[in-house]
């Protein structure tokens, strides 16, 4: 690999590592699995760097690789994992525990559980949306139109609101 590609890789990882890690955490069941999955993502990105053609932004391309690795991981390991999952490994936002009061923490836990209950396609859409990616970038990553993304996000928000209300009340 050329020095230029290596620098592109390092710069891209530095800019996106927190987002990539949070995406991994949505598909993993615990912190150790999240770390392992994140390492697999880094390896996949590194190995695929020569195939990056600048047709999209580096970040968009990295998110696409990350989702593909996570979905393959989920398929490969889904049969092995039990039906119950520990929720302590999921991070929706970069919030320090000391910044969250008890009510907010309960709401955050409910949101995490509800996101985990979504189907794979909806989970991918809402994960990228929560990373504050624009609809256009989400559509490029997932290969859907911006209108489809907008409709999906509206429907997913409704599903999540219903789910959270059931869990909290």
Secondary structure percentages of the chain, helix, strand, coil, to 5: 75, 0, 25
Please give the Cα distance from 122 to 54 (Å, whole number). Answer: 27
The pLDDT tens digits of the residues spanning 76-131 come to 765 554 433 343 433 444 444 455 567 677 878 888 889 989 999 999 999 999 99
Q: Does domain 95-169 have CATH number 1.10.10.10?
A: yes
The pLDDT tens digits of the residues spanning 44-84 come to 999 999 999 888 899 999 999 999 999 888 777 655 544 33
Q: Which CATH number fits domain 1-84: 1.10.3720.10, 1.10.1740.10, 3.30.420.40, 1.10.10.10?
A: 1.10.1740.10
The per-type count for the chain, helices as H runs and strands as E runs, is 7, 0
Please give the Cα distance from 127 to 121 (Å, whole number). Answer: 10
Q: How many CB atoms lie within 10 A of CB 159?
A: 17
Q: Is the pTM of this model over 0.75?
A: no
Residue boundaries of the structural domains of the chain: 1-84, 95-169
| Fold match flag (1-84 vs 95-169) | no
């Amino acid at each position: 690999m050329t020095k230029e590609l290596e620098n592109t890789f390092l710069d891209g990882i530095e800019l996106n590592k927190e987002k990539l890690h949070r995406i991994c955490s949505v598909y993993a069941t615990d912190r150790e699995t999240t770390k392992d999955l994140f390492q697999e993502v880094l390896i996949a990105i590194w190995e695929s760097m020569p195939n990056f053609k600048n047709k999209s932004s580096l970040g968009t391309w990295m998110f696409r690789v990350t989702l593909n690795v996570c979905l393959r991981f989920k398929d490969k390991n889904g049969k092995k994992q039990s039906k119950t999952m520990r929720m302590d490994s999921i991070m929706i936002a970069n919030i320090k525990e000391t910044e969250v009061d008890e009510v907010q923490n309960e709401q955050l836990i409910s949101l995490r559980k509800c996101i985990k209950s979504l189907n794979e396609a909806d989970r991918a859409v809402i994960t990228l949306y929560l990373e504050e990616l624009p609809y256009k970038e989400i559509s490029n990553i997932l290969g859907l139109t911006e209108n489809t993304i907008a409709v999906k996000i509206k429907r997913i928000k409704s599903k999540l609101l219903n789910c959270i209300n059931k869990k909290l009340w």
